[in-house]
Structure 1
């Protein structure tokens, strides 16, 4: 139990650092009302969360990367705060695009990551099975 808590905590520290650095880097080149940094970070996070899930990694690694890192790297609280700010500014065009587009695209990134993870796991198994008989024939 304590080990699981530490794994999630360590992942969360690095996830939030990656989020802050990524947000600052993206915002340097983007000066528009649409919250691009949050959109990109959540999309990347959804893909990698799908990848980690698809790979069916051991519990410790899933807690470190999936729950800890990705949990603090992505955030829908920032997404919602930025949406409220767009409403406050009466920027309805960007408000509706931030409500619909990210959810559809981030879900598709999650599915893509899941597909890549499952495919990679199957490919690895096929390669192992293809070479194991050759190794035993050398003995």
Structure 2
């Protein structure tokens, strides 16, 4: 039996709990700040592990499991559409672009630190 499903499951449980914790700690005032934060941070962590040459087991545990459960593309999408439908067009566009740019900068920083 392979340990891969166990590693992904354990990492996923940790990532889900961490995601919940960020949502509880970060006050949003209607803005999807917690989702923005977890997506940028998760991108950084996964990028750092990848560029630093983490082994397959670490990538399964932290990358696929923890980062996969911690980050949330679906919440990002819903937050963007909800802002758009409320008529907050600038917020929707700013949030979408900010998330993409923030994740890109986080990935660049991870690449610089991990190589």
TM-score, length-scaled by structure 1: 0.78
Match of 1:45 among 42, 47, 61: 42
Larger radius of gyration: 1
Residue 6 of structure 2 aligns with which residue? 6
Question: Is contact 1:23-1:37 (8 Å) kept?
Answer: yes
- Long gaps (5+) in structure 1: 119-139
Over 3 Å off, 4+ runs:
none
State the SS of the aligned residue for 1:57: coil
User: May I ask how many residue pairs the two structures share in their alignment?
Assistant: 115
Residue 41 of structure 1 deviates from its aligned partner by 1.0
Q: Which SS does the other structure have where 2:3 is aligned?
A: helix
Cα deviation digits, residues 82-112 of structure 1 (max 9, x gap): 1111122111111110111110111110121
How far is the alpha carbon of 1:75 from its aligned partner?
1.0
Superposition CA RMSD, Å: 1.2
TM-score, length basis structure 2: 0.93
